[in-house]
């Protein structure tokens, strides 16, 4: 039962095996586990339960709990209570039934508190026949393990939430990552990199699982970087430009952590960070026009400069003379409140355009 308790956070529904084993061990008709996160409102509970096969009954402890939540938070952790004794007015006389417990006339309850502030209650209930000392001892013996399991669950949920927020931010910023072995074999990647592999024409995964870049020049540069890192893990990161439309860059760097990811047989040698713009340059120009009040040609120049082009390269790219480009650049700096190209790049990179 203890093993099922610690593995329960990885099940769906959560802790279903543990609750069913607890119900059977206690010879109960119903067993439940309720969890309230530290930061959650009093009326926000996670309720998990198991009941006898074919039995439609359900003890809605959260309904009883909401009548006076402070009472149940004040219970001494690890102590087993008869739920009937906690209600006011006192439980009805023997055989008269207890309407507050619905179809289940007898129940035991134990509160467990984990150090982070999360609270859990485990409840067992029967339609008839009171619980005794043996069932109370069973719940008491599980108190420490329930606390550890709930603590692990809260920690995993917190990290999962943080990971989802970070992943969403990276997605909005059009960033992704992947890890490679020394021969270019893809070992792992995040959802953003996976999306780029599926949608982009400039990088793909071969049938043998190797990362291949569409540009022969870029692919050779990647191969050279992998060989460099294999010979010298401390070599400086390598930046490789893959595409102008859509704009995609990668940064290849050696990883000091050669631990093997789960379900993988090879350790990563390099990490690749991908920055790929899913919006076309036309869309980006329109956004820059809206945000900074530039003319369309000024916005085109600002976009080119923000992507590292020199003013001469930007002029050639958008098809204007160098003299015109210089005139436009003065307007761009004036309207955006910047003084030089580095300031312009920084302004555009931190603007909401990167989130669009």
Three-state DSSP state, 256: coil
Residue 353 has pLDDT above 60, yes or no: no
Q: What digits encode the pLDDT tens for the residues 138-150?
A: 999 999 999 999 9
Quote the strand ranges of 245-310, DSSP E: 247-254, 270-276
Residue 290 has pLDDT above 70, yes or no: yes
Residue 278 has pLDDT above 70, yes or no: no
Q: What pLDDT was estimated at residue 196?
A: 84
Q: What digits encode the pLDDT tens for the residues 56-84?
A: 777 777 777 877 888 889 999 999 999 87
Q: What digits encode the pLDDT tens for the residues 211-241?
A: 999 999 999 999 999 999 988 888 899 989 8
Q: What digits encode the pLDDT tens for the residues 332-349?
A: 999 999 888 888 877 876
Distance CA 165, CA 154 (A): 17
Region class of 331: left (phi > 0), else alpha (psi between -120 and 50), else beta: alpha
The C-alpha angle with vertex 82 and arms to 77 and 84, in degrees rounded to 5, equals: 125
Q: What digits encode the pLDDT tens for the residues 196-213?
A: 888 888 899 999 999 999
Does 281-355 carry CATH code 3.90.1200.10? no
Residue 91 has pLDDT above 80, yes or no: no
Assign 94 a pLDDT band (cuts: 50, 70, 90).
very low
Residue 97 has pLDDT above 50, yes or no: no
Q: What pLDDT was estimated at residue 284?
A: 82
Could you give the residue range(s) of every CATH 3.30.450.80 domain in the chain? Answer: 2-163
Does 2-163 carry CATH code 3.90.420.10? no
Q: Kindly report the average pLDDT of the chain as a whole number.
A: 84
Classify the C-alpha dihedral 96-102-104-109 as positive or negative: negative
The C-alpha angle with vertex 18 and arms to 13 and 24, in degrees rounded to 5, equals: 120
| Joined tokens for residue 99 | 């309407």
What would the CATH number be for the domain defined by 176-276?
Answer: 3.30.450.20
* End-to-end C-alpha distance for the chain, whole angstroms: 50
Name the strands in the sheet holding 270-276, side by side, starting at the edge strand that comes first in the sequence: 186-189, 175-180, 270-276, 247-254, 238-244
Instruction: Look at 279 and 137; give whichever has higher pLDDT.
Output: 137
Could you give the residue range(s) of every CATH 3.30.450.20 domain in the chain? Answer: 176-276
CA 189 to chain centre: 15
């Amino acid at each position: 039962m203890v093993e099922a308790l610690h593995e329960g956070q990885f099940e769906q529904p959560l802790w279903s095996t543990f609750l069913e084993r607890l119900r059977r061990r206690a010879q109960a008709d119903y067993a439940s586990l309720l969890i309230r996160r530290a930061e959650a409102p009093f009326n926000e509970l996670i309720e998990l339960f198991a009941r006898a096969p074919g039995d439609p009954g359900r003890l809605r402890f959260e309904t009883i709990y909401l009548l006076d939540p402070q009472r149940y938070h004040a219970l001494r952790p690890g102590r087993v209570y008869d739920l009937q004794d906690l209600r006011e007015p006192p439980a009805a006389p023997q055989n008269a039934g207890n309407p507050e417990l619905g179809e289940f006339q007898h129940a035991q309850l134990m509160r467990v508190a984990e150090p982070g502030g999360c609270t859990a209650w485990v409840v067992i209930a029967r339609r008839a026949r009171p619980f005794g000392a043996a069932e109370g001892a069973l719940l008491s013996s599980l108190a420490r393990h329930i606390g550890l399991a709930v603590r692990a669950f809260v920690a995993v949920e917190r990290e999962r939430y943080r990971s989802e927020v970070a992943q969403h931010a990276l997605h909005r910023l059009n960033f992704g990552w992947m890890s490679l072995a020394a021969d270019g074999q893809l070992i792992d990647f995040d959802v953003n990199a996976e999306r780029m592999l599926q949608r982009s024409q400039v990088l793909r995964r071969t049938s043998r699982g190797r990362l291949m870049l569409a540009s022969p020049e870029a692919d050779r540069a990647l191969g050279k970087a992998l060989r460099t890192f294999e010979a010298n893990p401390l070599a400086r990161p390598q930046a490789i430009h893959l595409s102008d439309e859509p704009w995609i860059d990668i940064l290849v760097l050696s990883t000091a952590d050669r631990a093997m990811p789960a379900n993988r047989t090879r350790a990563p040698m390099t990490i690749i960070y991908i920055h790929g713009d899913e919006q076309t340059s036309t869309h980006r120009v329109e956004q820059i026009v809206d945000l900074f009040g530039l003319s369309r040609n000024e916005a085109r120049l600002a976009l080119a400069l923000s992507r590292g082009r020199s003013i001469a390269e930007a002029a050639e790219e958008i098809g204007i003379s160098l003299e015109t480009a210089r005139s436009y650049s003065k307007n761009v700096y004036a309207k955006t409140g910047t003084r030089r190209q580095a300031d312009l790049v920084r302004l555009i990179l931190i603007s909401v355009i990167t989130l669009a």
